[in-house]
Amino acid sequence: MKILALEDDPVERAILREALQRLDYDVIAAAEGEAAWVAVWR
Q: Tell if the pTM clears 0.75, that is, is over it.
A: yes
Which pLDDT band, with edges at 50, 70 and 90, does 33 fall under? confident
The number of domains in the chain is: 1
The more confidently predicted of residues 4 and 36 is: 4
Q: Is 5 helix (H, G, I), strand (E, B) or coil?
A: strand
**For the residues 13-40, what does the mean pLDDT come to?**
92
Domain hosting 33: range is 2-40
* 19, HSE (Cβ side, Cα atoms, 13 Å): 7
How much is the pLDDT for 8?
94
Residue 38 above 90 pLDDT?
Answer: no
| Amino acid occupying residue 6 | L
Residue 21 above 90 pLDDT?
Answer: yes
